[in-house]
């Protein structure tokens, strides 16, 4: 079994957390595993998966174009050299002629259903590779029922051809924080002792951050001592964020904290009055699950997979600024409701584990190999 981890970026977002956590859980489960990774990640995967064979790819794979060339020209030779029976490509693209059974993870269908939420280049690229994977892969994995249904709607693929495997949550990193962890997170974002609402994710159109900013400003407009809003995550490319920030009254604080180290996330999420994630659609919604595991009261939307993750343990709102404002107003005024959501979120988060995710992936690999050897 070979996992191609070369598409994982240096700054670990959702895809990086998926691959890293899956590799570690597979190794812990005793899988015979080979991980091919960027040279910079060699020591990381040696540490995450001490029982695995970790192989560095060429340093030339650091750009997307070079990596794709390597994936098609060099990876198949490496697969044959290492005698891998199954190759798992965990981020849309795959070697088209490796000779092994192929498993591809398709995280999201919004490139088809809501292309305006992505750059035109990115939407075209991932649509093309999704279609290629659906046609050419031995088996495809998706992280939610919602994503499976969306892909079935936009492609001729039968629903049974997709393996639905939920992500897990890393409870060592994402847990109800100690007072010390909360203090450290507050120091990291420069919030001092001010209560705050938290958002964690890339500032891209799909995350609906401008509506969150405007909704927050409306909700706390009349407060004498208003909480702050802290936006943490990669800068992204949503040009409307700056416009929304410019309209926030000067007396209200909106802090752009940027990328936060993993060690601060439990304190950041668990220390917030409320974690708001008014996304326009997710393939899974890992930030929501991670906030739940930290004991946060979470506000999100019912778009696509998010109710699969949150269930009855989170609060929901519409995607407009007025909807967000009304929900924030209601939750900030009701500490009993927030405490209930915090407790319910922690319990529901226990239903999602990387151990279970790894077990389901091993079943998918076995299914792919069985299908491959019977069709050769």
Residues 6+ apart with CB under 8 A from 269: 174, 177, 198, 200, 275, 290, 291, 294, 296
Q: What is the pLDDT of residue 376?
A: 64
Using one digit for the tens of pLDDT, what is the confidence trace for 143-153? 999 999 999 88
Using one digit for the tens of pLDDT, what is the confidence trace for 199-222? 999 899 999 999 999 999 999 999
Buried b or exposed e, range 149-177, using 16+ CB within 10 angstroms? bbbbebbebeeeebbbbbbbbbbeebbbb
Q: What is the pLDDT of residue 58?
A: 86
**DSSP 8-class letter at 220:** T
**DSSP 8-class letter at 177:** P
3-state percent breakdown (helix, strand, coil) of the chain, nearest 5: 50, 15, 35
Q: What is the pLDDT of residue 19?
A: 97
CA–CA gap between residue 219 and residue 247 (Å, rounded) = 14
Phi/psi of residue 264, nearest 5 degrees: -100, -10
CA–CA gap between residue 78 and residue 315 (Å, rounded) = 48
Using one digit for the tens of pLDDT, what is the confidence trace for 354-365? 999 999 999 999
CA–CA gap between residue 277 and residue 280 (Å, rounded) = 9
CA–CA gap between residue 269 and residue 297 (Å, rounded) = 9
pLDDT at 3 over 90: yes
Using one digit for the tens of pLDDT, what is the confidence trace for 4-61? 999 998 877 788 999 999 999 999 999 999 999 999 999 999 999 999 999 999 887 8
Predicted confidence band at 237 (pLDDT cuts at 50, 70, 90)? confident
Q: What is the mean pLDDT of residues 330-334?
A: 98
Q: What is the pLDDT of residue 158?
A: 54
Q: What is the pLDDT of residue 230?
A: 98
Whether 84 contacts 93, CB under 8 Å? no
């Amino acid at each position: 079994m070979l996992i191609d981890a070369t598409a994982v970026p240096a700054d670990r977002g959702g895809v990086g957390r998926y691959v890293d956590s899956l590799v570690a859980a597979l190794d812990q489960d005793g899988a015979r595993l080979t991980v091919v990774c960027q040279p910079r990640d060699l020591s990381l995967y040696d540490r995450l998966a001490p029982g695995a064979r970790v192989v560095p790819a060429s340093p030339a794979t650091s750009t997307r174009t070079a990596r794709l060339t390597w994936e098609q020209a060099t990876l198949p030779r490496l697969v044959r050299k290492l005698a891998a029976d199954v190759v798992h490509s965990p981020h849309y693209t795959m070697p088209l002629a490796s000779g092994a059974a192929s498993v591809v993870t398709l995280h999201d269908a919004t490139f088809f259903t809501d292309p305006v939420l992505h750059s035109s280049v990115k939407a075209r690229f991932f649509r093309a590779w999704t279609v290629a994977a659906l046609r050419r892969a031995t088996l495809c994995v998706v992280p939610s029922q919602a994503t499976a249904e969306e892909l079935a709607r936009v492609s001729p693929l039968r629903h049974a051809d997709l393996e639905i495997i939920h992500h897990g949550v890393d409870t060592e990193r994402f847990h109800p924080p100690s007072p010390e962890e909360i203090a450290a997170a507050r120091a990291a974002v420069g919030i001092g002792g001010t209560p705050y609402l938290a958002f964690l994710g890339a500032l891209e159109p799909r995350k609906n951050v401008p509506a969150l900013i405007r909704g927050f400003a409306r909700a706390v407009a009349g407060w004498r001592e208003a909480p702050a809003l802290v936006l943490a995550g990669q800068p992204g490319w949503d040009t409307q964020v700056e416009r929304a920030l410019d309209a926030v009254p000067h007396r209200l604080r909106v802090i752009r904290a940027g990328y936060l180290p993993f060690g601060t996330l439990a304190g950041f999420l668990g220390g917030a009055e409320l974690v708001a994630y008014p996304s326009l659609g997710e393939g899974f919604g890992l930030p929501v699950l991670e906030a739940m595991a930290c004991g946060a009261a979470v506000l999100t939307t019912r778009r696509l997979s998010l109710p699969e993750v949150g269930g009855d343990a989170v609060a929901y709102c519409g995607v407009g600024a007025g909807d967000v404002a009304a929900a924030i107003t209601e939750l900030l005024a009701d500490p009993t409701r927030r405490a209930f959501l915090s407790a319910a979120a922690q319990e529901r988060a226990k239903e999602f584990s990387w151990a279970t995710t790894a077990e389901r992936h091993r079943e998918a690999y076995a299914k792919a190999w069985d299908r491959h050897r019977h069709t050769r």
